[in-house]
């Protein structure tokens, strides 16, 4: 007879929200309540954030500073967690820690696409510094909201599986 598959304890998935300017907080709460995961909204308090009264929601206020919220998230996020952010460098830092990252428009950041996004961001920043008018993002649409909700649901479920799986083996080179 085959042995029973090995079960690993389910790790608690947490959604970390880069919160001061996040346009999809209400959508995050909806998905989190349905799937039973915790949410930490991280910001410096520059913009007031009111959370619904729920034991799985927490507001983490960080000191003022250009990347204080990003630094807090990158320090606390772990494998099996999800980060919702518009910040491409923060998404890259989360991916490096084995977490998952998603933009408020529903764009899933992966190891395969984050490098190109970082490069494009650097090019656009150089153009802005040179005086080029690059414009901003298009207004958020209903399709963006729908795509975000679907992607967040899928991503949280996958992150829950990540957290419950055994940790990946460290790569050891042959000598």
Q: Tell me how far apart the alpha carbons of residues 119 and 77 are, in angstroms, rounded to a whole number.
A: 24
CA 173 to mean position of chain CA atoms: 31
pLDDT of residue 137: 67
* 27 contacts: CB under 8 Å, gap ≥ 6: 145, 148, 149, 152
pLDDT of residue 5: 52
DSSP symbols for the chain: -PPPPP--PPPPPEEEEE-TT-TTHHHHHHHHHHHT-EEEEEE-SSS-----S-TTEEEEE--SSTTHHHHHHHHH--TT-EEE-S-HHHHHHHHHTT-EEE-TTSPEE-TTTHHHHHHHHHHHHHHHHTT-----PPPP-HHHHHHHHHHHHHHHHHHHHHHHSPPPPPP----
pLDDT of residue 136: 65
136 — alpha (psi -120 to 50), left (phi > 0) or beta? beta
Q: Tell me how far apart the alpha carbons of residues 165 and 80 are, in angstroms, rounded to a whole number.
A: 9
Q: Each residue's pLDDT tens digit in the chain (175 positions)?
A: 666 554 444 558 999 999 877 899 999 999 999 999 999 999 998 888 889 999 999 999 999 887 999 999 999 999 999 999 999 999 999 999 999 999 999 999 998 888 777 777 777 777 777 777 766 667 778 888 999 999 999 999 999 888 777 665 544 545 5
pLDDT of residue 43: 93
């Amino acid at each position: 007879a085959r042995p029973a598959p090995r079960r690993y304890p389910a790790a608690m998935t947490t959604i970390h929200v880069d919160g001061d300017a996040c346009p999809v907080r209400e959508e995050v709460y909806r998905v989190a309540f349905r799937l039973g995961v915790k949410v930490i909204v991280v910001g410096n308090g520059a913009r007031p954030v009111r959370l619904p009264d729920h034991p799985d929601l927490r507001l983490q206020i960080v000191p003022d500073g250009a990347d204080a919220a990003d630094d807090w998230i990158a320090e606390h996020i772990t494998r099996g967690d999800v980060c919702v952010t518009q910040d491409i460098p923060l998404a890259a830092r989360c991916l490096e820690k084995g977490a998952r990252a998603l933009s408020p428009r529903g764009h899933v950041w992966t190891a395969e696409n984050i490098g190109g996004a970082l490069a494009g961001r650097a090019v656009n920043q150089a153009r802005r510094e040179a005086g080029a008018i690059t414009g901003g993002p298009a207004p958020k649409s209903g399709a963006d909201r729908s795509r975000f909700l679907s992607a967040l649901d899928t991503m949280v479920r996958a992150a829950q599986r990540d957290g419950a799986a055994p940790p990946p083996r460290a790569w050891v080179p042959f000598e």
